[in-house]
Amino acid sequence: MKPIATTRSAMGIMTGKLAVYWVLVSEIVIFGGLLACYVMNRIAHVEWAEQAAHTNTWAGAFNTLILLSSSLSAVLAHQAAEKGNGKKAANLLYLTCLGGLVFLIVKSFEWTHEIKAGFTIQSSGFWAYYYTAAGLHAFHVIAGMLVMLWVASTAKKNQELHRVENVGIYWHFVDLVWIFLFPLLYIAK
């Protein structure tokens, strides 16, 4: 049973939503810190551009499109939840998850190809940041997918529908991080 505390709302915003925003604060600093290090190093190491030339811009662009589309389905899921249609919201969340899965599959092909070509995490500072940043992002994609499956499992019974919006906010953030990663890792050559 939920404590009364969870249902209060002195700030006028629902508790779960407020919590997700604070989670994002800490995530922004984590990714921000990592990317700031990458950018400073990239500027200091002109030779990294040679390495960066070998990232697969088409795969990155495709993945960007996939994530943006999955954010769209997350928004639609929220709309369905607002209207009280838990089953539809759950299905749209499954679709969002599918987007995440496609993203991860594309990424694994990318990385397999790159590793086989000799571009491993040890081979240069550029690749160290590339795999670490994209890897940390992928870890958050997986975590998001798991949470989304859990939210969908209660939403389809028309329960806890407010969680659909909250997990959507998290997913948009994961998307936003990718919007930064894509130009930094794929376009800056």
Partner 1 sequence: MANHADAHADEIGSGHHGHHEEPGFIKKYLWSTDHKMIGFQYMFTGMAMALLGAFMAYVFRMQLAFPGNPVPGFGVVSPGEYNALITNHGSIMIFWVAMPVLIAGFGNYLIPLMIGADDMVFPRLNRLSFQMFALSVVILIASLVVQNGGFGGAWTSYPPLSANPDYNLTPWGASLWLLAVAVEFVAFLLGGINFIVTTMNSRAPGMKAFDVPILVWTIVIASILFMASVGPLVAGAVMLLFDQLIGTSFFNPNKGGDPILWQHLFWFFGHPEVYVVMLPAMGIVAEVITVFARKKMFAYKTVIYTIIATGVLSFFVWAHHQFVAGIDPRMANVFTVTTVLISIPIAEMLFVYIATLYGGSIRFSTPMLWALGFIAEFLIGGVTGIYLGASGADIHFHDTYFVVAHFHYTFFPIAIIAVMAGVTFWFPKMFGRYMNEFWGKVHFWGTMIPFNCIFIPLFILGAAGEHRRIFDYHNFPHLGAQWMQDMRIFATVSLLVMLAFQLIFLINFIVSMFAGKKAPKNPWKANTLEWTADSPPPHGNWPELPTCYRGPYEYSVPGRADDFWPQNEKA
Which CB, 11 or 58, lies closer to partner 1? 11
115 binds partner 1, rule: CB under 8 A = no
15 in Cβ contact with 8 (< 8 Å):
yes
| Contact between 125 and partner 1 per CB under 8 A | yes
* Binding of partner 1 by 6 (CB under 8 A): yes
Contact 152, 94 (CB under 8 A): yes
* Complex with partner 1: residue 20 or 81, whichever CB lies closer: 20
H helices within 83-161, ranges in order?
Answer: 86-116, 125-155
Q: Which residues contact 1 (CB under 8 A, 6 or more apart)?
A: none
Nearer CB in complex with partner 1: 8/87: 8
Type of residue found at 36: A
Residue numbers 29-48 binding partner 1 by CB under 8 A: 29-34, 36-37, 41, 45
d(C-alpha 97, C-alpha 33), whole Å: 27
Q: Which residues bind partner 1 (CB under 8 A)?
A: 1-13, 15, 18-19, 22-23, 25-34, 36-37, 41, 45, 121-122, 124-125, 128, 132, 136
